[in-house]
Structure 1
């Protein structure tokens, strides 16, 4: 369920990916890579019948990458 304060930060296989606005404020200077792993994760997981989970890898954007980012609009 997408909330009114959620922000779309990208697409994965044609599906939009959202995070909450307060999370975005914390992570906006960070490159996030969403990956899938075998086994169950504590949270943020795929259906338990698949025995797969999501994991996020992160790193700070370089200055060049920060300059190339498009502004994010809310609402």
Structure 2
């Protein structure tokens, strides 16, 4: 599914400096990667980081944009719930998801969010 990757000029997905630095560390070992946020019971608020050639993006997945040149996707059903929010990819201490490339590095990615407000909310498409 294709959507605008900005809302009133604001990107749908951004990353903290700490997340971008961690991303570059992972890219040293795996240059071609992508993120996927499914919102499933096992992932929760952890975006999963995969080698791009080992993950098949689904027909209903939505590309939110890119962080550090890495595409970020979300499942269509989760996008329906989170379409009014900007996702902020951060990094915190802990273990990544079992199949995520951040696993075993004693840090993991975490998705935070903020609601689009004011003029941003007015710019969201009506469904």
TM-score by length of 2: 0.47
Residue pair 2:97, 2:103 contacting (<8 A) in 1 also = no
Residue pair 2:94, 2:107 contacting (<8 A) in 1 also = yes
Residue pair 1:45, 1:54 contacting (<8 A) in 2 also = no
Equivalent residues in 2 for 1:33-72, closer than 5 Å: 33-41=88-96, 45-68=100-123
Counterpart in the other structure of 1:7: 62
Q: Deviations over 1:25-68 (max 9, x none)?
A: 00001121011112225678543231221111112110211234
- Provide the aligned length of Structure 1 versus Structure 2: 70
Work out the CA distance in 2 between the residues paired with 1:47 and 1:33.
17
Alignment of 1:31 with 2:113, yes or no, is no
Unaligned runs of 5+ residues in structure 1 are: none
Distance 1:30 1:17, change over 3 A: same
Work out the CA distance in 1 between the residues paired with 2:100 and 2:61.
19
TM-score by length of 1: 0.74
